[in-house]
Amino acid sequence: MAEQATKTRRQRDPRLDFFRGVAMLIIFIAHVPQNHWSNFIPARFGFSDAAEMFVFCSGFAAAIAFGGTFIKAGFWHGTGRVLYRIWQLYTAHILIFFLITGLMLAGNATFAEPDYIDRLNLHFFFNETPKALLGLLTLTYVPNYFDIMPMYMGALLMIPVFMALARIHPLLAIAFSLSVYCLNWVLDGGLPAHPNNPDIEWFFNPFGWQLVFFTGFAISRGWLTPPPFNRALMASCIIFVVAAAPVSHWWFFVGYKESLPFLADWRELTLPWRAKTDYGILRFIHFLALAYIVVNLVRGREHLLLHKACHPIRTVGQQALPVFLLNMWLAQLGGMVLDQLGRNQASWALVNLTGLAVVVLFAYLVTAIKKEWWRKAIENRAAASVERKSPANPASAALSPAE
């Protein structure tokens, strides 16, 4: 029975790990400053980007990690697990801020230009350190580069409410998520991100972004069922995704807006509805359309994601949090390398390929550490020691006092 439970526990949905891994790799490329390769990531061809993939998969994984605790152990035990996870994310957020700020200081001390503190707009932290430090610790000072982790914490904080409502009926939980999203737009909600400027808000507003998080959560719990394959729906999704590409790809838009004036009208019309901060509804629709297309293309072929060629990407997806933290630091280091080497096809290839390789190797290292690989060595040595001392061992028998 225990063996069967272990096997069940180890089974993972390869789609979750694979696409979360893809999101992590894209996030690295997207965050390297002035990276030419970032012109070819999915965000340049549509309203949604890797952030949606990451948040949706995080919601899906959160339902697996915490949902069962709420059901089996009770509401307060589940809430306790969620709060502990938030504490882990909070400490990781503070740590990565200081690690990246330290890297920026090292860059300024080592190189004459550019000003790396200015690049991340961190002058406030050094000019008014007491106020900035208090704001950092209370999440009222959230510089743009450090904004996704607070949003993730905000979404997690809503899980107990979500689960409490679901005990009455799952539709109440879904209605709660939709209501928070709509009220955020109606009331222009937001959280302060700068102690000296109340107009600056968290770049990722958790009241908006929780919609995609809880969509993944609800699907994982079985409260929402994705629509089955339908040719008309598939065609509609493809048309929408294709129509979003010309106005989302900046260089295409600039090159053809004169000859195709409707592009400018389409872009202007969609701007308010694809805002990233409050999570415009077109971003959500675009993500759902992409997800529907991809899920149906993968359906029945999930075994392909288990191929050894996909193992590095799945490993990255399984270690999303530590990999994400490394991504943020490593991307800035990659930007420094590009500043010194100059930006050309060779240096872009060097920084991106090296960075992606480091990310994958780091994911394998974290996996090995979590599996406590040293325990196997201890067990092997203990077994070898017992075997050497065993009377059945001819060598030990030859040295036995009985002889």
Q: pLDDT tens digit string along 112-150? A: 889 999 999 999 999 999 999 999 999 999 998 999 999
Listed residue (85, 83, 223, 224) closest to 167, CA to CA: 223
18: tokens are 């694979």
pLDDT at 336 over 80: yes
Q: Is residue 3 pLDDT above 70, yes or no?
A: no
Judge if the upstream peptide bond of residue 246 is cis by omega within 30 degrees of 0. Answer: no
Nearest to 54 by CA among 253, 213, 269, 239: 213
Give me the mean pLDDT over the 181-200 stretch. 90
43-47, 182-186, 214-218, 340-344: the lowest-pLDDT one: 43-47
Distance (Å) of CA 200 to CA 65, 97, 278, 302? 34, 19, 13, 43
For position 373, what pLDDT does the model report?
A: 76
The pLDDT of 368-390, averaged and rounded, is: 76
Question: What pLDDT is attached to residue 4?
Answer: 45
Mean pLDDT, residues 91-100: 96
Q: 385 falls in which pLDDT band (50, 70, 90)?
A: confident
pLDDT at 263: 74
Residue 396 has pLDDT above 60, yes or no: no
pTM for this model (two decimals): 0.86
Residue 53 has a pLDDT of 92
What whole-number percentage of the chain has pLDDT above 70? 91
Distance, CA of 373 to chain centre = 26
- Asked if omega into 114 is within 30° of 0 (cis), the reply is yes
What percentage of the chain reaches a pLDDT higher than 90? 67
pLDDT at position 8: 43
pLDDT above 60 (res 2): no
Q: pLDDT tier at 392 (50, 70, 90 boundaries)?
A: low
pLDDT band of 272, cuts 50, 70, 90: confident
Show Cβ contacts of residue 194 under 8 Å, excluding neighbours closer than 6 positions.
124, 135, 140, 141, 200
pLDDT category of residue 11 using cuts at 50, 70 and 90:
low
Reported as a single tens digit per residue, the pLDDT across 226-269 is 999 999 999 999 999 998 888 877 666 666 666 667 777 777 77
DSSP summary character for residue 112: S
How confident is the model at residue 230, as a pLDDT? 93
DSSP string, 139-158: TS---GGG-HHHHHHHHHHT
pLDDT tops 80 at residue 384: no
Q: What is the mean pLDDT of residues 318-346?
A: 94
Q: At a CB cut-off of 8 Å and minimum separation 6, what does 22 contact?
A: 50, 53, 313, 317
Q: Is the pLDDT of residue 9 over 90?
A: no
Q: Token pair of 237, please?
A: 């999704």
Q: How confident is the model over 140-185, as pLDDT tens digits?
A: 999 989 999 999 999 999 999 999 999 999 999 999 999 999 999 9
Q: Which residues contact 82 (CB under 8 A, 6 or more apart)?
A: 66, 156, 157, 159, 160
pLDDT the model gives residue 400: 46
